């Protein structure tokens, strides 16, 4: 497997955008109801996502027979993930939420093997093991804190599991339309359902939106829903599932360190050790395999 320059650029920008988004999420839900905050971000980003499709001349049409599968993809890739993880962020620190959310590559790899029948070489298993150990180290000093908030932990893990399943499903989808069109309609469905949940459960808490919340809403609208979702699903659809998932494992590391910088969350030596392990995990699946020597002409003629 060889990554193109465009895919490498997308991975780098995606890592930065999603990594810095974790403290932004925490700021957003600290002063405004979480589902409402997420809904506003999606409503703001949706018209600009449509504009991207229009400028790129990507057709909006989805064949009638594909809508059922598209609804399933929307539920696993967006709706469940966005609802549960934003509730987890409200209950936990931004760093803990990022770590729990990005156990997704481990879930995705295991689902690929046991559900979709994917074959994994020893380097891939090494990558999964390094990623898992890195997550444990990142959580090392958080176990006592999260044990008192089991709901947030459960929400984060279930969200990650659904996202891992969605990543495998988008890789195996039979929908033959551009990824941007899939992203647009999944975002539309998720926005409507998220807004309905916000209205039912949070309308009594609605009030003036603080400036810091508006900053987070705008960042999420353009960084996450206009760029990151489309970039991620494009990579997940075109790269092998394990490569596309483990390749973003550096995001929780950035989430932890940006949370430490912006929100004064503590850092420990385990965080630095986790960086090394996660870099090894990424390298184990993205580093080019050695090319076997070409057979000699004599051997070919034998």
- The string of DSSP letters for 89-140 reads HHHS-HHHHHHHHTTHHHHHHHHHHHTS-----HHHHHHHHHHHHHHHHHTT
Tens of pLDDT, residues 31-57: 999 999 999 999 999 999 999 999 999
pLDDT single digits (tens) 140-197: 655 555 555 667 778 888 998 898 888 888 888 889 999 999 999 999 999 999 999 9
pTM of the model: 0.78
* Contacts of 56-64 spanning 24+ positions with Cβ under 8 A: 56/180, 58/178, 58/180, 58/181, 59/177, 59/178, 59/181, 60/181, 60/184, 60/185, 61/177, 61/181, 62/175, 62/177, 62/181, 62/182, 62/185, 63/175, 63/176, 63/177
Helix (H, G, I), strand (E, B) or coil at 223: helix
Mean pLDDT of 115-126: 67
Note the pLDDT tens digit of each residue in 66-80: 999 999 999 999 999
**Of 111, 58, 86, which is closest to residue 230 (Cα–Cα)?**
58
Mean pLDDT computed over every residue of the chain: 80
Cα-atom radius of gyration of the chain, to the nearest Å? 20
Cα(298)–Cα(302) distance, rounded to whole angstroms? Answer: 6
3-state helix, strand, coil in the chain (%, to 5): 80, 0, 20
**Residue 301 pLDDT:** 41
Instruction: Tell me the pLDDT tens digit for each residue of 197-233.
Output: 999 999 999 999 999 999 999 999 999 999 988 888 8
Cα–Cα distance measured from residue 144 to residue 134, given in angstroms and rounded to the nearest whole number:
18
Higher pLDDT, 266 or 195: 195
């Amino acid at each position: 497997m060889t990554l193109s320059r465009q895919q490498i650029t997308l991975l780098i920008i995606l890592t930065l955008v999603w990594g810095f988004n974790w403290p932004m999420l925490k700021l957003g839900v600290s002063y405004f109801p979480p589902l409402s905050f997420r809904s506003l971000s999606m409503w703001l980003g949706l018209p600009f996502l449509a504009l991207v499709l229009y400028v790129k001349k990507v057709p909006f049409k989805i064949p009638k027979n594909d809508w059922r599968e598209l609804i399933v993809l929307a539920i696993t890739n967006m709706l469940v993930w966005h609802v549960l993880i934003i509730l987890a962020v409200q209950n936990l620190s931004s760093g803990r939420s990022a770590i729990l959310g990005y156990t997704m590559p481990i879930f995705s790899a295991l689902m690929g093997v046991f559900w979709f029948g994917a074959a994994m070489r020893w380097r891939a298993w090494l990558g999964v093991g390094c990623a898992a150990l890195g997550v444990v180290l990142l959580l090392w000093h958080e176990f006592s804190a999260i044990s008192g908030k089991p709901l947030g932990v459960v929400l984060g893990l279930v969200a990650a599991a659904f996202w891992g399943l969605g990543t495998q499903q988008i890789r195996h989808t039979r929908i033959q339309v551009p990824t941007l069109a899939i992203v647009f309609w999944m975002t539309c469905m998720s926005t409507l359902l998220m807004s309905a949940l916000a209205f039912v459960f949070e309308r009594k808490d609605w009030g003036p939106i603080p400036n810091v919340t508006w900053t987070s809403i705008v960042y999420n609208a353009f960084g996450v829903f206009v760029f990151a979702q489309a970039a991620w699903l494009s990579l997940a659809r075109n790269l092998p599932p394990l490569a596309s998932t483990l390749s973003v494992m550096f995001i929780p590391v950035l989430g932890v360190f940006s949370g430490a910088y912006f929100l004064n969350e503590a850092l420990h030596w385990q965080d630095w050790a986790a960086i090394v392990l996660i870099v090894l995990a990424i390298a184990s699946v993205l580093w080019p395999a050695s090319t076997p020597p070409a057979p000699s002409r004599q051997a070919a003629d034998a």
